[in-house]
Structure 1
Amino acid sequence: MNKSLSTFDILGLGFMTFAFFLGAGNIIFPPMTGFLAGEHLTSAMAGFLLTGVGLPLVTLVAAALAGGGLPTMGRYLPPVVVTVMATAIFIIIGPAFAAPRTGLVAYEMSLKPFLSHPDQYTLTLYTIGFFGLVLLLSLNQGRLLDAVGKVLTPILLLLLIGLALAVFISPQGTQPPVSEVYLTAPFVKGFIEGYNTMDTFAALIFGMFILDVLRDKGVTDGRAQSRYLMIAALIAAVGLGFVYISLFILGGTSLGVADSATTGAEIISAYVLSLFGPAGLWILAAIVSLACLTTAVGLVSACADYFYRLTHQLSYRIWVIINALACMLVANVGLDTLISVSVPVLVTCYPVAVALVLATYLRPLMRAPVLAYRLIMSVALVFGILDGLHAVGLNMSLVSWLPMFDIGMAWVIPTAIATALGLAIPTRKQEVQC
């Protein structure tokens, strides 16, 4: 029998979805963007919110419409392509970028503010200790931190709400001058900065997890599952929007508080110190470091479990060790370098994720979905690669004539044209109807 959820259960599902996305690493990007955007803060914030909140929201809704996450959304693609996409997502949110970033954010906000001369040696020692603890906890698939994580997320949220209120009521500084990179096309720059949250990739995976939770609660009807998933996505989007907007304003009123900051973590630490003094900084350090720890354990555990199920060549524990060691090594490049290296990869991969979501919404209008999906995804990938190579800094003068290439969005118009062509492809007898 299909069970209906109570209002309390629906709110709990929405809060859980919000907690999935609210990683401690995500809170460092809005302040830095707000600081650099200066007088163009509103435009940059709108672009960031579109990718940081809007895309994850529509991705979860697409997952709900498709009846699942990446496997069902990609059912018109060759299975090997779906596997490659899933593997790439787990590498990106795992040992390549997101998981090492948790250790770096913990270092930047829990230890570095208290050091008079932080250097590579202290970073190395910290990452060894942090990811060594992550390794030990992940060997039990994070079960030891489940209860702690459920407590830490509400505490972190309350801290962010308190910080937001303080920013609105008593801003500590003034608006910084606009940075050169935000002088032209601040909306597009903010849009691309929103890639750093990686939440659209995560949404392709979370859709499956949330549906599993609904099934465990007795919700078996497909339409009911879709409806509850959409409501949860809306609740999460509202929460993320509130957090990001308040942190944008924090960064946009940081002149005189964090003038020499090079990361969002440094801006938040300086702002908290100005607002609440050393005690506030200690509280922030404790909560963020624990939140980063729980996030890292979740990511390392999920990645180890995925690669174990994919290969069946090594045990889960061996994959935990591999992932934890990789995270430790990657983290030693530092937060600035990690973010700069991740940008070309995200610029390449995000168009593919967006194309998949777009194709999922337009599926009812397609007469030949197999061909349409493959056309749309292929075009998005090719032009995403061109944007990624441009982001690396390679000489791309041969394709510089492409519309929007100079702002890193060359994939948009070709993908739109491919989508129109995909909708126009006539029905083929050999099409697999799913």
Structure 2
Amino acid sequence: MDLTREAVAEYVAPVPMGSPENKLGNDPARAQNTPQFWINIAGPNATKKSGDRFQAKVCATSVANCTGTVISGINNDEYSTEGYFFALKVASVVTGQPLNIQVYDPAMTYVNDTCGANMPTQSEANALQALPGNPYPDAAVRFAPGLTSWCTGDQDISGRGTKTTFIVRSPDATPWSDLDNPVVAGCTKQMPSYDPGGSNPTIYQYLHPTDGKQDAQAVVNPADGSNTFAELFRQNVTICSIPAGSVSTGEYILQVRSNATAAAPTVYSASVVDGGHNRMSIFAGFGTAGLAAVDGSAVSINARGRLPIYANATAANTSFYLARVLPYDAGRTLRVTLFDIGDAASAGVLQILPPAEFAATFSGCVFSRDDGATLSSTPSTCTLSNVSSGNGFDGRSVTVDIPIPANYTCTPAVATQCWIKVRAAFPSGVTDTTTWSAAILGNPIRLVE
């Protein structure tokens, strides 16, 4: 007699991180700056110690996971040749409207962490706003120098040439692999980089249409198929528009990388040796109204298991959406890794918070650092204190194991529920590039029948 058993299982996708909405990062053009962070991507020649855990190749053995023995010719053992992946989940299609994906300030322009280098003076910004024809109606604020809400803080990290490639991929039936998703036609873009000042034109000269200095870079013509400096710098740039009638429900994948050539943007190239940190935000929505709304009901965007961010705030005391954990993970452990945290004027406090609809605090959290240092943690409230680069967090990985209670519950159908948050309190301000990752410990395959 033969006996057989059958079961149905499903693959548990990477943990969503960063946002339950259709925006990931600040949106200054629409006065929506709730999260107080930008997405960061480093060029391959940047140093890992500067905060990008997975796209910077260069590091000393004193930095976490930098033995140089895992990937031939690369010091960073955690380097990803494929870049970062973001999921754009389309829950419902808006009839008659295209699905648009935009990036704010997608091209690297060196201005330093707090936009104190190469920016127009306030007088120059005012002059740009007063130009005939009014090409820059809000130039006095959009192009103002210093740490304003428009400042992404593109930085020189062993170079100023990071060229960022954006690739949009269609939904498919294999959620365990993002690279086999078909590339959407016309939705692969590589952005240039700009190093203004010195022997190069200044930002003011790039933007001025009639001063005889790179006047072609001040042309704004969305129909000509090219991107000028004026169309990229501090602008919301559409990198992909999927026509109405061609959009399907499911997860589109946005791949963002800094290690490909313009000739072969979907392929890793070891020949790319640019440095620098490029900072940006990512938005998605159906039509103009969908982009303007802050809403995750039709389409949402979040990082898939790895979230590279940059925060430049004069004072930070805010809660970020960290990771989404659903009720079927009750009784398991969420592992969060925070790399290179605490580049701040003074020490701060981090606390991992459960979804507000479930409880006020987590308990039983276990904090550890890769160098074995003793940390100032309070497991009963899932809090880590005295966080700063001066206290040994520079270039180090902090692991937080968070027990998900057996009675954990939330409502997955509500986009803003089931989100675990991290509260960051740095009263003296931050200029911090950091990379967060999250995973549910255990087998990624679970039985459902």
TM-score by length of 1: 0.27
Greater percentage in helix: 1
**Larger relative contact order (CA 8 Å, sep ≥ 6):** 1
Greater percentage in strand: 2
